[in-house]
Structure 1
Amino acid sequence: MLSQIRPAFVLLFLLTLVTGLAYPLAITGVAQIAFSAQANGSAVERGGVVVGSALIGQNFVGDGYFHARPSATSAPDPANPDKSVDAPYNAAASSGSNLGPTSKKLIERVNATIESEFAAGRIDVVAADAATTSGSGLDPHISPQYALAQVAGVARARKLNEARVRALVEEHVEGRALGLFGEPRVNVLMLNLALDALQ
């Protein structure tokens, strides 16, 4: 019996070393050498301070900034842990709303978002991502259409030339991956940092 158990334990030990230690360390080493920024969270720094990640959206507020698309993430309600409250761009609770196109709650939320953006003078055209959430609730990008729709409001709030703000948006449009995959997009964090650098 020992002659059958010993090879099993030796094999378990060797495979644990190879697949549980050597392989993960090798892959981590390759990632740190070849893709250091991505392996460390695609952190964005300004003045030696991490201000965010290029891969996780942030909830920008105020008329002087470009806004990201709405986020459906939530957090536990401090008053009642059994319930949740809206917490836009909460990276600890990535989720979509799971509301279907016939949902009354979704229709009311979309209409309220559009009305508030128009009432505040923030947008002049409604792009789809101005009122709809992403699947993760953490999308760092918006469409060029939504970014351009916000130009007039941001320029007015910052007392900047509208043409200069429009040019800044156009400079930050990222094309399709390999020219084929995905849609053109604008990273809101990078755009807002460039906007801050103008002043």
Structure 2
Amino acid sequence: FNVKVRQNDDEEAASAGRIAIMKEARVRAENIPPQHPICTLSLTLPDYSGPLPQVSSPLHQEAIGVKYAKALSQIPNDATEPIPIAFVARHVGADWPRLARALQVPDSDIRQIKREFSGGNEPINILKIWIYLKGTEATPAELQSALRRIGRDDIVHRLNKNDLDSEGDSLRFTDINNLRGSNFSSKVSVDRDFDKSEA
């Protein structure tokens, strides 16, 4: 129902009000004359003299740089790390918040990254946080799946085509994917007829 609020400068009017009970709904055709209320109730609110409610101060939020100090201090090296986060961070650009959500990084961390970081460091930092939070679940396959879900197949294509920023990175990423997808085993044989006199 509709409520009409009076001006606060009129204390008597501000503390009093009326409720009109109608027979029909308020919305009617314009050609029907206005209806009279069946009953009118007058209400008067007493002055409140109790204690004022306490205004709770917002909880102190730990800075993202402190919360993930260990993760953010890591310097990524695509030549040695299993996940080329530096390469992805350079190419994902402004889509990093969408990638972060696809990787299930908490929204609170995403908002803090936006507030506390600038200068293009957001993508690399959010990927560091993702690896820190997910641990062994943070894999190249999960990263590629998240990139596909946000429509960044171009990055996935470059990863699959080994089109990274250096030849060493390309070979490293290829070797890791091949080893992850195959049952790699190494065997060493010894020739027992080896002439020990030649040693």
Q: Under a length normalisation based on structure 1, what TM-score does the superposition of the two structures give?
A: 0.22
Larger Rg: 2
Q: Pick the structure with more strand per residue.
A: 1
Q: Under a length normalisation based on structure 2, what TM-score does the superposition of the two structures give?
A: 0.22
